[in-house]
Amino acid sequence: MAERQETDVCIVGAGPVGLFAVFECGMLKMRCHVVDALDMSGGQCAALYPEKPIYDIPGYPAIDAAALIGKLEEQAAPFHPVYHLGRQVESLTEENGRWRIGLDDGTAIGARAVIIAAGVGAFGPNKPPLPGIEAYEGRGVFYLVKRREDFRGKRVVIAGGGDSAVDWALSLAEVAAQVYMIHRRPKFRAAPESVTRLEALAKAGRIEMVVPYQLARLEGEGGRLSSVIVATLEGQERVLAADALLPFFGLAMNLGPIAGWDLELERGHIRIDPATCAASRPGIFAIGDIATYPGKLKLILCGFSEAAMAAHAIYPLVHPGEALHFEYSTTKGVPAG
């Protein structure tokens, strides 16, 4: 039988905005469960640009995206959110004035209100169709680089022709023992300046260009990669001894099941009332990149403000009949972590 868990607010999306919503709800005595399709929190910050500095977070002249996520998790921690990571939210059904959120593993979360902070939708990497690739994922095959240092001294095969592939080839060439760059054609779709640097590093022997080749299969044992086999369109193969394969074929972004939740949408975004962040069904709220209203800016700081507004609008649903006295955090304080 499917497991059922009860909470006050279910937050769909553990990106920066969803994480801050945990804090804002917590300050108003509302417990949260947070679901994310990725197996880590942080949304776009963690998946797309963890080591890039962000310059427009108030109070931080510059902060790396991963560090910001760390701070947001720390800020949410005193409120003991329950995370369901690596789980996609599939269904949303109304049951006696509460919502039932169904996850892809059969878990059901019952909540009084739902905050959709799903960014651009559930996203995951476009995976190359290599037989048995799953066995190597997380040990020898990585779709994103969490820490550049993890690749120090390693033999790395990078596949792809866009900005991510080229940028990581340039970056990892500084720490890896060997970098192979696989692309099926000589032309790259990356920033021209980066391509020029790539070519210079290839000339200097710091990166080996394996072009025009495509990934063919993997070899290794027990999830440990030993070589990546690549092939031309004519079937001519090369065996590259390797410790890690990094395929960068873009992210598949998918509004997915949310599109079928009977919410008013506007070009793939959820239309909300900007005063409350309420969506078109009572008890459902949307904040961050997925929400739209006139003048909406897709910035993290705007999402933070929407999280505060949504939490205040949800309070009377979770605490009916209890007046909400607006208080500053300086007055109220936060629970010990």
34 scored as a contact of ligand FAD (CB under 6 A): no
Distance from C-alpha of 66 to C-alpha of 47, rounded to nearest angstrom: 9
- Say how many residues make up the chain: 337
The C-alpha angle 324, 327, 330, rounded to 5 degrees, equals: 155
Cβ at position 96, least distance to ligand FAD in Å: 24
Among 300, 311, 314, 317, binds ligand FAD (CB under 6 A): 300
Q: Residue 324 in contact with residue 316, Cβ under 8 Å?
A: yes
Q: Residue 99 in contact with residue 112, Cβ under 8 Å?
A: yes
167 scored as a contact of ligand FAD (CB under 6 A): no
**According to CB under 6 A, which residues from 269 to 298 bind ligand FAD?**
288-289, 298
Pick 12 or 207: Cβ nearer ligand FAD:
12
Enter the tokens of residue 7: 């909470």
12 scored as a contact of ligand FAD (CB under 6 A): yes
Cβ at position 227, least distance to ligand FAD in Å: 32
Distance from C-alpha of 323 to C-alpha of 244, rounded to nearest angstrom: 57
125 scored as a contact of ligand FAD (CB under 6 A): no
Cβ at position 303, least distance to ligand FAD in Å: 5
Distance from C-alpha of 44 to C-alpha of 51, rounded to nearest angstrom: 12
Cβ at position 17, least distance to ligand FAD in Å: 3
**According to CB under 6 A, which residues from 202 to 261 bind ligand FAD?**
256-258
Distance from C-alpha of 301 to C-alpha of 106, rounded to nearest angstrom: 34
Among 8, 9, 10, 16, binds ligand FAD (CB under 6 A): 16
Strand bridging mode 208-210 / 178-182: parallel
102 scored as a contact of ligand FAD (CB under 6 A): no
**Number of Cβ atoms within 10 Å of the Cβ of 127:** 14
Place of tokens 């890896």: 176
Q: Residue 272 in contact with residue 250, Cβ under 8 Å?
A: no
56 scored as a contact of ligand FAD (CB under 6 A): yes
50 scored as a contact of ligand FAD (CB under 6 A): no
Cβ at position 254, least distance to ligand FAD in Å: 8
Contacts to ligand FAD by CB under 6 A: 12-18, 35-38, 43-45, 48-49, 54, 56, 88-89, 117-123, 256-258, 288-289, 298-301, 303
